[in-house]
Amino acid sequence: MDFQEALNYIENTGSSGIKPGTEVIKELLNRLGNPEKDLNVIHVAGTNGKGSVCTYLECALVECGLKVGRYASPSVFRYLERIRLGGEDITESDYAEAVSAVKAAAEEMEFKPTGFEAETAAALKYFADKKADVIIVECGMGGLEDATNIFDRPLACVFTSVSMDHMAFLGDDPEKIAVNKAGITKENTTVIISRMPHIYCKGKEYDPAGILEREAGLRGGICIRADKDIIPADFKNPLPGAYQKDNLNTALYTLNAVEERLRKFFPDKSISYDIYLKGISKASWPGRYERICDDPVIIRDGAHNPAAAKALYESLDKDGYLEEGVRIHLIMGVFKDKDYTQILRIMLPCAVSFTAIDLPDRKRGLPADELVRVAENVSDELGLGDRIAILSAGSLDDALPTYSVTGDTASNICEVPASDRGYSAPDSSLSGDVYVVFGSLSLMQLFNS
């Protein structure tokens, strides 16, 4: 099986349907020799912030000299970025080899694995075969029945901010969603719970962090709330965006929680707080409040649910490099199943124009004309009147003025310090027009085309 054949298998396996729960992947992993049992795992669930927290963790542990694996799906810029080892994407040949083993193991199964289940199994086999020291695994969606929920004794379970998303699968209120995500908790496992806002839904106030703590405790987890700020005062967060402070804080709590065991497992490695910070200082996470151009100013952010939109709005408001009175132009594409109406309610008040565009995936994407109609209704509802122009464009390039991307917009996650990257923050404030592209992670890759 070559790389293309492996991709075709992942795309087409399990086409007969999805069997809820983890029964299928557990059978598949058993046929592969249970590679997951040989791995030291940090398991991360949440609605927003998973990728950022995992980036901080990866960069910190790589800096310690550990062989660090990372699994996350879907990818944004490169297909193979979803499986990483030692700070590098899996190679095409290694990917094909791991998927070939999965295909062979699945052939005798009565109920075939889905693509996500098969790829998850392939990643875990790859990490075990390569003898990874630590792996960082993001939940695909939810927690309890997610294909990644197959680890008996993870080093830690980490919960980033929980909000309303994937309601058709996880539940229609914050409590149901948080309970589902808490399902990754294992008995006697350290649980780190990020600082996160309360959510108002259907006339009721919910405390997702409190729900996670309650549910994780019921499952025997040893809960730690990342409520106190432990980021050194003189440390500059390499990831821009006001919301990254809580993500960095959560990562540092997690590193502190697993440090003693890592030192015991790997006594020859340099594992310390100072080394963590040195590694984190090199972190980059493209597509999250990332300024990719100075003239004109273009900021891209994958915000695709109301909580992420609120974080984006606050980041724009608190951005010290944007002068008061800048003209903000919003450019948005979004999937049909997202709460785009609420996203618009949050974002439209900050802008002088709003342009709807189609996503690359036309089947799942909301048509631009429909997004324009909803934006017009929200504008009327908020009484914005002539303060905002609402437009439609055929593509991202049609919506933006002529621009030239600054630096490498998909630079490696732990490659070089942020201060050395072309799109790092400028020394002086920026005034004039600012273009903000958001609504879906799938839009982020268009800047490289």
**What pLDDT digit, counting tens, does each position of 235-276 carry?**
999 998 888 999 999 999 999 999 999 999 999 999 999 999
**b/e per residue 204-214 (b: at least 16 CB within 10 A):** eebbbbebbbe
388 within 8 A of 351, measured Cβ to Cβ: yes
pLDDT higher at 118 or 168: 118
The label of the residue with tokens 């409040």 reads: 289
Question: pLDDT tens digits for 355-377?
Answer: 999 998 888 899 999 999 999 99
pLDDT band at residue 75 using 50, 70 and 90 as cut-offs: confident
- 231 closest CA partner among 203, 252, 213: 252
Please, are residues 39 and 265 in contact by the beta-carbon 8 Å criterion? Answer: no
The Cα–Cα gap between 178 and 170 comes to 9
- Is 223's pLDDT higher than 90? yes
Q: Please, which pLDDT band fits residue 411 given cuts at 50, 70 and 90?
A: low
Superfamily of domain 3-280, CATH level 4: Mur-like, catalytic domain (3.40.1190.10)
Q: What is the pLDDT of residue 21?
A: 86
Distance, CA of 179 to CA of 45 (rounded, Å): 12
Using alpha carbons, select from 121, 128, 116 the residue that is nearest to residue 102.
121
3-state SS assignment for residue 2: coil
Looking at the chain, the domain(s) classified CATH 3.90.190.20 span 290-448
User: Binning pLDDT at 50, 70 and 90, where does residue 170 land?
Assistant: low
The whole-number average pLDDT for the span 219-229 is: 97
In the CATH scheme, what is the homologous superfamily, with its name and number, of domain 290-448? Mur ligase, C-terminal domain (3.90.190.20)
Intervals of CATH 3.40.1190.10 along the chain: 3-280
**Cα separations in angstroms, 365 against 169, 180, 260, 336, 369:** 18, 26, 46, 5, 11
Say what the pLDDT of residue 229 is.
96
pLDDT band at 222 (very low <50, low <70, confident <90, very high): very high
Least confident of 57-66, 94-103, 196-205, 317-326: 317-326
- The pLDDT score that the predictor gives to residue 300 is 93
Cβ contacts of 115 within 8 Å, gap of 6 or more: 10, 11, 12, 13, 14
Prediction pTM value: 0.87
Q: CA-to-CA distance for 55 and 380, rounded, in angstroms?
A: 40
Query: DSSP H helical segments within 324-427, as ranges?
Result: 340-347, 368-382, 396-399
**Which pLDDT band holds residue 307 (cuts at 50, 70, 90)?**
confident
Percent of the chain with pLDDT over 90: 69
Tokens of 17: 């349907």
